[in-house]
Amino acid sequence: MDELTPNRTDQPGAPRGRRRRRSRRGKTSQPDAVPSVQSGRPSPAGQRSAPGRGRPPAQRGADRGASRGTGRQGRPARQAAAPQSGGGAPRDDVHRSVPRSQLPSNLVYGINPVTIAIDHSQLKVLYYDGSRQSERLQQIHAQASDAGLDIRPLQRQGWSRNLPPDLHQGVAGLLHELPRLYLEEVVQAAGEDSCVLVLDRVQDPQNLGAVLRTAAATGVDAVVLPKAGGCPITPAVHKASAGMSIIVPIVEDENLARALEFLKEHDYWVIGCDSSEGEDATTFEFPRRRVIVMGNEAEGMRRLVKENCDYTVRIPMLAKVESLNISVASAVVMYLAMADLARAQYVENGVENGEDA
């Protein structure tokens, strides 16, 4: 019986290698016998013979396509082509999805960030969800049209599938390359009252975005980031900052310790924030030309950065609280500095006017 079994691979002349599959097309309970070209023994109908024998090339290609229509154990194979609509034409609204990690680096999404980008002439392409009925979205569309921007359907973009609707809010866009800024320019434009924020390796994009939003609210002259070791300006940062990352002056410096030395040479005083030591930030007298340094979420400031600080301050907390989130701590210190300087300015104005301080 073994001699007559056509699926045995140990017979002379039988093809070896990958297991041969049976075609499901035309399968019946009693398949007709078809003479084998190799041995003359009958083989089940639809079973593939030796390559290049017995059938024309076009028919062999058709059979291969039919045999690959199902996967192992009868499961349907993955379809590479897009789903078909009526009439056999491919659907225009079906596109390959892109992982969120592969979003365009100059992407911005959400109503506020896109609006800020248009207002500051930083947007070059607008992606718009026309199925949404929103007055804000219609205003953005009209504003982009008046500016002559390229407007494209948001649903056509593969990466849009990896952005939940509550994130993009029906609108996204591509930014022009943001202008580069250098510390020399910051120093030249700074006045008597100036604040520079230095972030030493902040890792989380949500934290970075929140800090940049506070920096815009408190009117800092620049935010200094390391070129490596910290979170870069990503689409998530634009979203978390509500678009403030587009307008806040940002300096990327390779060596933060040297950047602090440069600022001190130009009459800035450097105040580092530490969760465990330093003067009480609520009673500290902040200088008018000040640099506020915030460290990493877990490790704080690096040694060389901390050694270049003129002062160290801490935020007083109850014993049961170990530390604050980096974005919250940054906001507390920046607003404490604003309040202290406002009180000092009030006292100076009162003395100049002859009032009792």
Round to the nearest angstrom and report the end-to-end CA distance of the chain.
114
Q: Could you give the residue range(s) of every CATH 3.40.1280.10 domain in the chain? A: 183-351
Rg of the chain over Cα atoms, rounded to whole angstroms, equals 34
The whole-chain average pLDDT of the chain stands at 80
Cα separation of 341 and 357, whole Å?
15
Nearest partner of 291 among 251, 233, 342, judged by Cα: 251
pLDDT of residue 223: 98
- How would you label 70-99 residue by residue, b for 16+ Cβ within 10 Å and e otherwise? eeeeeeeeeeeeeeeeeeeeeeeeeeeeee
pLDDT (mean) for 16-25: 47
Cα separation of 305 and 333, whole Å?
18
Work out the angle at residue 147's Cα, subtended by the Cα atoms of residues 146 and 149, and round it to the nearest 5 degrees. Answer: 110
* C-alpha torsion sign, points 121, 251, 214, 109: positive
Range with lowest mean pLDDT among 166-170, 238-242, 282-286, 336-340: 166-170
Superfamily holding 103-175: Ribosomal protein L30/S12 (3.30.1330.30)
Cα separation of 54 and 50, whole Å?
8
In DSSP notation, 184-240 reads: HHHHHH--SSEEEEEESS---HHHHHHHHHHHHHHT-SEEEEESSSS----HHHHHH
What single-letter DSSP state applies at residue 229? S
Q: Is the pLDDT of residue 33 over 90?
A: no
Half-sphere exposure for 299 (CA within 13 Å, toward CB): 12
Q: Could you give the residue range(s) of every CATH 3.30.1330.30 domain in the chain? A: 103-175
pLDDT of residue 355: 64
Query: Between residues 67 and 242, which one has the greater pLDDT?
Result: 242
150-153 and 123-128 as β-strands: parallel, antiparallel, unpaired? Answer: parallel
Neighbours of 69 (CB within 10 A): 12
Range with lowest mean pLDDT among 32-46, 99-113, 136-150: 32-46
State which H helix or E strand residue 291 sits in.
strand 289-294
Please name the amino acid found at residue 343.
Answer: R
* C-alpha torsion sign, points 343, 345, 348, 354: negative
Please tell me the pTM assigned to this model.
0.71
Q: Is the pLDDT of residue 83 over 70?
A: no
Q: Is the pLDDT of residue 97 over 50?
A: no
Under the banding of pLDDT at 50, 70 and 90, the label for residue 59 is low
* C-alpha torsion sign, points 240, 241, 242, 243: negative
pLDDT single digits (tens) 180-214: 999 999 999 999 999 999 999 999 999 999 999 99
pLDDT single digits (tens) 136-178: 999 999 999 999 999 999 989 888 888 888 899 999 999 999 9
Q: Are 263 and 196 in contact (CB under 8 A)?
A: yes
pLDDT of residue 20: 47
Under the banding of pLDDT at 50, 70 and 90, the label for residue 70 is very low
Under the banding of pLDDT at 50, 70 and 90, the label for residue 352 is low
Query: Between residues 316 and 20, which one has the greater pLDDT?
Result: 316
- Name 174's bridge partners: 107, 125
Range with lowest mean pLDDT among 40-44, 223-227, 236-240, 293-297: 40-44
Q: Are 270 and 257 in contact (CB under 8 A)?
A: no
Cα separation of 185 and 67, whole Å?
68
CATH number of 183-351: 3.40.1280.10
pLDDT of residue 149: 96
- Name 128's bridge partners: 153, 171
